[in-house]
């Protein structure tokens, strides 16, 4: 199965869509890096208050991704 995406790079809207398409993997990896960083602080952090804040941020990150239908495991693995 193949898919072909075509963009008119002279059109500003198409140029933006093109950038979104070619940078989507990078964006997924950034989200994964943020998630792993937060998880590390929660798991290995010395400050309980900081860990609680990170847990809250991580929960919100997953809630926002779920709202948009973004499942990192689907996109990374």
For 8-61, the pLDDT digits (tens) are: 999 999 999 999 999 999 999 999 999 999 999 999 988 999 999 999 999 999
- pLDDT above 80: residue 77: no
- 37 token code pair: 């960083």
pLDDT at 76: 86
**pLDDT tens digits along 29-38:** 999 999 999 9
Q: Between 55 and 76, name the one with better pLDDT.
A: 55
Q: Answer for the pair 39, 55: CB distance below 8 angstroms, yes or no.
A: no
Q: Quick one: pLDDT at residue 45?
A: 87
């Amino acid at each position: 199965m193949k898919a072909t995406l075509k963009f008119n790079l002279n059109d500003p809207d198409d140029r933006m869509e093109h950038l979104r398409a070619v940078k989507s993997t990078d964006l997924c990896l950034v989200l994964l890096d943020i998630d792993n960083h937060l998880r590390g602080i929660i798991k290995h952090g010395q400050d309980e208050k900081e860990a609680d804040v990170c847990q809250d941020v991580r929960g919100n990150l997953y809630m926002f991704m779920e709202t948009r239908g973004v499942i990192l495991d689907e996109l990374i693995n």
